[in-house]
Structure 1
Amino acid sequence: MSMHVDYYFTPVSPWTHLGHARFAQLLQQHGATVGVRPVDYGRIFPVSGGLPLPKRAPQRQAYRLVELRRFADHLGVPLNVQPKHFPVDAGTASRLIIATAQTQGNAAALDLAGRCGRAVWEQERDLAAADTLQALLAEAGLPATLMETAATPAAAEAFDGFTQQAIDAGVFGAPSYVIDGEIFWGQDRLDFVARRLAGG
C-alpha cells in the first residue's frame, strides 16, 4: 500500500523552493500519494509562536541569508537570496495551485507549485501579478480558465480549510510534510521523510 504525504507550504517560501524538486522526486521514487496544501502562514504564525520575517530580530534575519546561501550551494539549487519581488502576497498563487489540484489533479498542482517557487527565487518574477500567474499556467500547459476557478469561493474555502488543517495538525513552518500525523518540518528533513516512506 502506498503512503500518503500532506504537503503544507507557501509557494513564496525559499525553503519550500529548495526542497520542492527533491520532495517531488521522493514521492515518485516511493510511489507515495500527496495532498498539495498551500496554507496561509499569516494565520499560522500568531497561533504557533512564529513571527513574519520583517518582525524577526536582525541577527535572525542575517543568519537566514547565510543559511539560504549555504543550502543553495550545497544542493545546487539556483536561488536569489534577496529577490526583487519578496515579500509578496501568496494568496492568489496559493488559490491557483488549489484550483489546479481540484480540477487537474495533485501532480499538476505540484508542478505548478514548483514553477511558482522558481518564479520568485530564480526568475525575479512577481508572483502577486496576474500576468505572471497567467504566464506560469501557459508554461505548464494548463488552461487559462484556472485563474477564474482560483477566484471562486470554493478555492478560498479550501485555502482556509487547509490552513485550519495545518493548525490542527500542529504545523508551524514551511515546508512541512505530514505522514500519518507525524510532522517533518523543513527541506533539511527530507532524509527523514525518505526513510519514513521507505518504511524505516
Structure 2
Amino acid sequence: MMKTIEYYFSPKSPWTYLGHERMLELARRHGAIVEPRPMDLARVFPLSGGLPLDKRPPQRQAYRLTELKRWSQHLGMPLIVQPRFFPVDETDASKMIASVAKAGDNDGALKLSGAMLRAVWAEERNIADAATLIQIADDCGLDGAALHAGREAGADLYEHHTDEAIRLQVFGAPWYVYRGEPYWGQDRLEFLERALAGD
C-alpha cells in the first residue's frame, strides 16, 4: 500500500516552516508521498477556540517567541521571530500552491510551499505582495506571472482543503495525517516517522 502523508498547513505558519524540510526528508527516507493541502487558518482556528496571535494573552505571546528562538537554535535554522511582514494575508500564496498541486505538480507545490515559508520567516518578504509572489514562483522554476494571474484556479481546492481540515477537527498547523491518524506540530515528526517506519 502506498504511504501517503496528508499535509495541512498555512504558508505563514512559523511552525510549518520549522518542520517543512524535515517532514519532506523523512517522507523521502520512507518512500512516502506528501500531499500538500494549504488551508485557511482564519476559518479553522475559531472552531476549536483558537485565537489569532494578537488576541492571545501576553504571557502566551511571550512564550511563543521563546519557543521559536529555542527551536530555531535547536534545528540550526534561520528564523526572524518577529518578521516585518507578519501577520500577513496568505490567501493568494495558498491559492498559488493549490493551483500547482491541482495541475498535478505535487513536487512543485511542495517546493513553492517551502519557498513561501522561507520568504516570511527567513527572508522577511511580503507574501501578500503580487511582485514578491511572482518572484518566489519564478525562483522555483514556475511561471510566476501566469501562476499569480491564474491563482483562482486553485481557489476551490484551497476551500476544499479547509473544509476537509474542519471535518477532520484540525486546529493548528502544521498538521499531518497518516493512515487516518493525526499529528499536530513539527515537534510530532518523530512520532510520524515511527509510524512510517512501522509500515
Q: Same fold (TM over 0.5)?
A: yes
In the TM superposition, what are the counterparts of 1:6-155 in structure 2 within 5 Å?
6-144=6-144, 145-152=146-153, 155=154
Poorly superposed stretches of 4+, deviation over 6 Å: none
Contact residue 53 and residue 61 of structure 2 kept, 8 A: yes
AA matched with 2:89: D
What displacement does 1:148 show? 2.3
Q: Could you state the TM-score of these two structures normalised by the residue count of structure 2? A: 0.97
What displacement does 1:132 show? 0.6
**Residues in 1 aligned to 2:107 and 2:31: alpha-carbon distance in whole angstroms:** 12
AA matched with 2:166: I
Q: Could you state the TM-score of these two structures normalised by the residue count of structure 1? A: 0.96
Identify the residue that residue 167 of structure 2 maps to in structure 1: 168
Task: Report % sequence identity.
Answer: 51
Alignment deviations for residues 54-95 of structure 1 (CA, whole Å, 9 cap, x no partner): 100000000000000000000011100000100000000000
5+ residue gaps, structure 2, are: none
**Residues in 2 aligned to 1:164 and 1:48: alpha-carbon distance in whole angstroms:** 14
Number of residue pairs matched by the alignment: 198
**Residues in 1 aligned to 2:151 and 2:6: alpha-carbon distance in whole angstroms:** 21
Further displaced range: 64-73 or 2-11: 2-11
What displacement does 1:53 show? 0.6
Alignment deviations for residues 5-43 of structure 1 (CA, whole Å, 9 cap, x no partner): 110000000000000010111111111112110000100
- What's the RMSD between the two structures over aligned residues? 1.0
**Residues in 1 aligned to 2:53 and 2:129: alpha-carbon distance in whole angstroms:** 21
What displacement does 1:151 show? 2.5
**Residues in 1 aligned to 2:168 and 2:110: alpha-carbon distance in whole angstroms:** 21
Contact residue 97 and residue 112 of structure 2 kept, 8 A: yes
1:21 aligns to what SS in structure 2?
helix
**Residues in 2 aligned to 1:77 and 1:128: alpha-carbon distance in whole angstroms:** 23
AA matched with 1:167: I
